[in-house]
Amino acid sequence: MIRTTTEFLTEWKSETEATQRLLDVLTDESLGQAMTPDHRTLGQIAWHLAWVLGSMTQLGLNFPKPDGKELAPSSAEKIASEYKRVSQQFAEAVESQWNDETILENAAHLRLLIQHEVHHRGQMTVLMRQAGLPIAGVYGPSKEEWIVQGKEPYL
């Protein structure tokens, strides 16, 4: 439950760090990975997570939106760095411009923002596997991390 600024910012930090770990291993070549040709590519889903943060200004927060357009840039580095910047500036705006009362008023939006990120992150990890990229664990170890820990991953 999101009841205070501290509760939200703590959860947001953990969620965005998990997202950032995925974005940081994307390559320019992997951005075109798609489930089928008529669905969003890995790059478009990744960029969507940065882009959507700009919509939080509609809740009255003031911070710089992502640089660019809704269509994803072709640079994986640009996607990762813009997400990092905007997710941090969004958090700073929440901390400096809102209080516990405004957090409570916007709790449903903030919860949806996190769930939306979780949803698309799940799509990304599948596409990243298909693109042959390593996956960092999100809520638990990834297959690679199990192996490093000396465990036998399930198939």
Q: Which residues are annotated as a binding site?
A: 48, 116, 120
Check: CB of residue 62 under 8 Å from CB of residue 73: no
- Contact indicator for 83, 50 with CB cutoff of 8 Å: yes
List the binding residues for a divalent metal cation.
48, 116, 120
Burial (0-12, 13-18, 19+ Cβ within 10 Å), 142: middle
Dist CA 23 CA 15 (whole Å)? 13
